[in-house]
Amino acid sequence: MEFNKIIRGAARTANNEQSIYNILDAGFLCHIAFQHEGQTMMIPTAYGRKADAIYIHGSTKNFMLNQIINGSTICIGVTHLDGVVLARTLFDTSANYRSVVLFGKAELVTNPDERIEGLKIITENIIEGRWNEVSVGSENQLKATMVVKFRIDKASAKVREGGPKGDEEITNEVWSGHIPLSLKASSPVLDPKFGVELEITESVKHFCEKY
């Protein structure tokens, strides 16, 4: 993996493999940017990571997936918004975040074992343990599912944390500091359509403890 030099806000650089993996593993929603007939496009999707590979999936008819496996270098972004930073001036007002931007190529996964492994990596990244609780789907559903692997060629990461900086000289005595933000789960909602009360599973319990 190579690293892209960060020029603006260089102090926030977190360009090392472990930081990049930590940021990727802390979420499961990415945005994928690619080109179609010269036009830049972007679509959000779920992902999972194994080493320097990002797995994504979708319908075999999925427009983006069919586009991005064409051999061109695409771009994937993952950002966690960790808070707002309120300085004594708006100029020094900022946000806390962890973000990665990845460059690399995507390819169709055709090996049946790796297809299943890719789906497991995505599922386990979204909700650990769910893979063992439910079936993956029917043969026809599997056939209708495309698994795509993206290999990270170049990456960069930026992290900002803590309180305001740069407003040390401002004498206006107004509250300043930061307000943490994080993604939180609320109570699981049972699907009522089966008409049975069921206990939440280990994976659901674990998810609710994590978020």
> In the window 125-164, what residues touch its own copies (CB under 8 A)?
126-127, 130-131, 133-138, 141-142, 145, 163-164
Check if the beta carbon of residue 42 is closer than 8 Å to that of residue 32: yes
CA torsion through residues 44, 42, 147, 152, sign? negative
Q: Cβ-count burial of 10 within 10 angstroms (0-12 exposed, 13-18 middle, 19+ buried)?
A: exposed
Tokens at 34, concatenated? 């690619």
Q: Taking Cα atoms as reference points, which of 164, 157, 29 lies closest to residue 86?
A: 164
Contacts of its own copies in 13-32 (CB under 8 A): 29, 31
Smallest gap from residue 16 Cβ to its own copies (A) = 20
Residue 52 C-beta: closest distance to its own copies, Å: 19
Residue 181 beta carbon to its own copies: minimum distance, rounded to whole angstroms: 5
CB atoms closer than 10 angstroms to residue 103: 17
Distance of alpha carbon 122 from alpha carbon 134, whole angstroms: 14
Q: Which of 50, 93, 117, 159 is in the footprint of its own copies by CB under 8 A?
A: 93
Among 18, 37, 71, 90, binds its own copies (CB under 8 A): 90
- Answer yes or no whether residue 10 interacts with its own copies by CB under 8 A: no
- Shorter beta-carbon distance to its own copies: residue 112 or 193: 193
The one-letter amino acid code at 11 reads A
Size of site (CB under 8 A) for its own copies: 94
